[in-house]
């Protein structure tokens, strides 16, 4: 079926992918927007995996101050070239990430940054809470793992749902992957600090062994 220009434009707004990539995805999905969006997300993830080992030493430090000046965020987002760092869309990404951190207060950047001692403690707490239900052990284990996934979604920036996405389908990791696919460069959040009046500084930094 013929894909309309309006559909291509809408998919571009949803994904941030180039027009030609949007058209290809819509052709592959027979014009279905949601399915085409899934195709682009999968391609973005594949592109990100290929580029993850490449050094990203350029980028920007972005900031966001919440209304009233009570909460502020600094975030360093890296890319491979100054050309991309000066791109308006990359700058918007940095701003959006700072806003996300301000709103959701993540403790970690990626799930890989969560130390084993934190995971063990969280599992122990979740298991103790669930065991009181009297359910069989195998059921308790499944419930604990499900709640642990929720822990990652709430506490790891890349696992969180993007607050500006009205569909609720796009995670921060997928948002970054879509920009990796668009710019053809590795992009990653290196570190951030979140300041709230009257509280200690909340900071996170990527494990040097992961990108």
The tally of CA atoms less than 13 A away on the side-chain side of residue 207 is 10
- In this structure, what token pair is assigned to residue 140? 């308790």
Domain limits, the chain:
1-51, 58-113+156-211, 115-150
- CATH code of the domain made up of 58-113+156-211: 3.30.479.20
Residues 6+ apart with CB under 8 A from 208: none
Q: What is the DSSP string of 105-171?
A: --SBSSGGGS-HHHHHHHHHHHHHHHHTT---HHHHHHHHHHHHHHHHHHHBGGGSBPTT-TTS--B
Helix (H, G, I), strand (E, B), or coil: what is residue 74? strand
Residues 6+ apart with CB under 8 A from 176: 48, 93, 158, 187, 188, 189
Q: Which fold has domain 1-51?
A: Helicase, Ruva Protein; domain 3 (1.10.8)
Shortest CA distance to 157 belongs to which of 197, 196, 200, 210? 210
pLDDT in tens, the chain (211 residues): 678 888 888 887 777 677 888 888 899 999 888 888 888 888 777 777 778 778 888 999 999 999 789 999 999 999 999 999 999 999 999 999 999 999 999 999 999 999 999 988 888 888 887 877 777 777 878 888 888 889 999 999 999 999 999 888 889 999 999 899 888 899 999 999 999 998 877 777 777 655 5
């Amino acid at each position: 079926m013929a894909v309309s220009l309006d559909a291509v434009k809408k998919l571009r707004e949803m994904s941030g992918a180039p027009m030609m990539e949007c058209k290809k995805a819509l052709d592959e999905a027979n014009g279905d927007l949601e399915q085409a969006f899934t195709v682009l997300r999968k391609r973005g993830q594949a592109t990100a995996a290929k580029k993850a080992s490449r050094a990203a030493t350029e980028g920007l430090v972005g900031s966001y101050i919440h209304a009233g000046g009570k909460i502020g965020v600094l975030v360093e987002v890296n890319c491979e070239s100054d050309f991309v760092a000066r791109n308006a869309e990359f700058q918007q990404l940095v701003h959006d990430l700072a806003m996300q951190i301000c709103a959701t207060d993540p403790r970690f950047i990626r799930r890989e940054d969560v130390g084993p001692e934190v995971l063990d403690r969280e599992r122990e707490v979740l298991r103790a809470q669930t065991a009181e239900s009297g359910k069989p052990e195998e059921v308790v284990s499944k419930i604990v793992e499900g709640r642990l996934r929720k822990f990652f979604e709430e506490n790891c920036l890349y696992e969180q749902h993007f607050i500006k996405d009205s569909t609720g389908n796009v995670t921060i990791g997928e948002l970054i992957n879509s920009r990796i696919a668009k710019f053809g460069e590795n992009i990653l959040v290196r570190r951030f600090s979140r300041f709230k009046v009257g509280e200690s500084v909340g900071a996170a930094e990527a494990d040097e062994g992961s990108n």
